């Protein structure tokens, strides 16, 4: 049985990282938050960049630990059942839990790196945050003075075509496609679930709130992810 799993922000809320659209989500608390992760605002407005860097520095992501659901997906892989682990998350918690980085497809990049939008020079988030801690508010590229951003894919930016193509191939060959903790409201995640179902996969959705794809799913599990995913993995590896 070829199983591909796709995860969204909902798998990490029990690790203390708020999602965007869930009940305690960042957008319900601060509608302005969208600007901090939208490339147009970020490039045009130094104040958005200063807020964005402060948000990165104070972000719970940096201290977060994987939870039972991330760990269960490691077990699925070790049992030889996991083909690809597609994620919309930028928190790196799948890899931190022990998932093989080669199998993890990060649709939206990750937070560990920093890149200059002008010359492409790369450095680490830790280096940039050291500069914030030392008093800089909007650290510029040390090579060319350009604007720095994390290696996450912001709204308005293109996704890596290679990553999207590999995710699509995994969705097509999946016999079971499990979508966990995603509201399935942004592309390409939403279309990957549809592609998998169209290509014959059994579609399983694990999410507390309804999604637009529930009606084409073969199974919808509306429980807490930290409990539901270990249970599901036990069933899939039995
Ligand atoms: P989303 O915020 O749109 O949806 C998350 C869904 O998970 C919601 O429907 C919510 O009801 C559900 N959920 C949350 N906690 C749950 C729990 N414990 N049990 C069951 N269900 C739970 O998330 P998305 O679809 O991933 O889209 C958000 C976008 O924001 C993505 O592009 C992602 O890159 C980014 N993001 C990432 C992180 C992260 O890396 N952890 C956090 C916030 C946002
Ligand atoms: Zn530069």
| Ligand 1 pocket check for 227: Cβ under 6 Å | no
Query: To 5 degrees, how large is the angle CA 95–CA 210–CA 203?
Result: 60
Cα(100) to centroid of ligand 1, in Å? 22
Q: Which pLDDT does position 28 carry in this prediction?
A: 66
Q: Residue 209's Cα: distance from chain center in Å?
A: 18
Answer for the pair 217, 201: CB distance below 8 angstroms, yes or no. no
| Ligand 1 pocket check for 168: Cβ under 6 Å | no
Question: Parallel, antiparallel, or unpaired: how do β-strands 82-87 and 109-116 relate?
Answer: unpaired
DSSP secondary structure letter of residue 72 = H
| Ligand 1 pocket check for 182: Cβ under 6 Å | yes
pTM for the whole thing?
A: 0.93
113 dihedral zone (left: phi>0; alpha: psi -120 to 50; beta): beta
| Ligand 1 pocket check for 4: Cβ under 6 Å | no
Pocket test for ligand 1, best of 181, 189, 191 (most atoms within 8 A of CB): 181
Answer for the pair 97, 74: CB distance below 8 angstroms, yes or no. yes
Nearest ligand atom owner, CA of 16: 1
Nearest ligand atom owner, CA of 221: 1
Residues tagged active-site? 108
| Ligand 1 pocket check for 9: Cβ under 6 Å | yes
Atom of ligand 1 nearest to the CA of 20: 2
Cβ neighbours around 222 below 10 Å, total: 12
Cα(141) to centroid of ligand 1, in Å? 31
Nearest ligand atom owner, CA of 140: 2
Annotated binding site for Zn(2+): 116, 119, 141, 144
Q: Which pLDDT does position 55 carry in this prediction?
A: 87
Cα(222) to centroid of ligand 1, in Å? 14
| Ligand 1 pocket check for 183: Cβ under 6 Å | yes
**ipTM of this predicted structure:** 0.93
**d(Cα 95, Cα 183) in Å, to the nearest integer?**
22
The rounded average pLDDT for each run of 10 residues, N- to C-terminus, in the chain (238 residues) is 96 92 70 87 95 87 93 98 97 97 96 95 95 95 97 94 97 98 92 97 97 97 98 96
Query: To 5 degrees, how large is the angle CA 231–CA 236–CA 238?
Result: 90
Taking alpha carbons only, the member of 95, 98, 79 closest to residue 87 is: 95
Cα(142) to centroid of ligand 2, in Å? 7
Q: Which pLDDT does position 145 carry in this prediction?
A: 97
Q: Which pLDDT does position 34 carry in this prediction?
A: 85
**d(Cα 13, Cα 116) in Å, to the nearest integer?**
30
């Amino acid at each position: 049985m070829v199983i591909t799993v796709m995860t969204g922000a909902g798998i990490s809320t029990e690790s203390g990282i708020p999602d965007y659209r869930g009940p305690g989500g960042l957008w319900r608390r601060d509608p302005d938050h969208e600007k901090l992760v939208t490339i147009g605002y970020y490039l045009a407005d130094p104040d958005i960049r200063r807020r964005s860097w402060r948000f990165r520095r104070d972000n719970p992501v940096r201290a977060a630990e994987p939870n039972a659901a991330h760990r269960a997906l490691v077990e699925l892989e070790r049992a030889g059942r996991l083909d690809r682990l597609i994620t919309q998350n930028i928190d790196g918690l799948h890899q931190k839990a022990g998932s093989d980085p080669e199998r993890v497809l990060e649709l939206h990049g990750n937070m560990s790196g920093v890149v200059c939008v002008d010359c492409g020079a790369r450095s680490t988030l830790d280096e940039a945050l050291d500069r914030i801690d030392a008093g800089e508010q909007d650290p510029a590229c040390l090579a060319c003075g350009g604007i720095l951003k994390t290696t996450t894919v912001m709204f308005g930016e293109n996704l890596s075509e290679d990553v999207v193509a590999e995710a699509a191939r995994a969705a097509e060959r999946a016999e079971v496609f499990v979508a966990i903790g995603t509201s399935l409201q942004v592309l390409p995640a939403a279309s990957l679930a549809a592609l998998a179902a169209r290509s014959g996969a059994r579609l399983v959705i694990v999410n507390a709130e309804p999604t637009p794809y529930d009606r084409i799913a073969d199974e919808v599990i509306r429980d807490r992810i930290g409990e539901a995913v270990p249970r599901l993995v036990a069933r899939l590896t039995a």
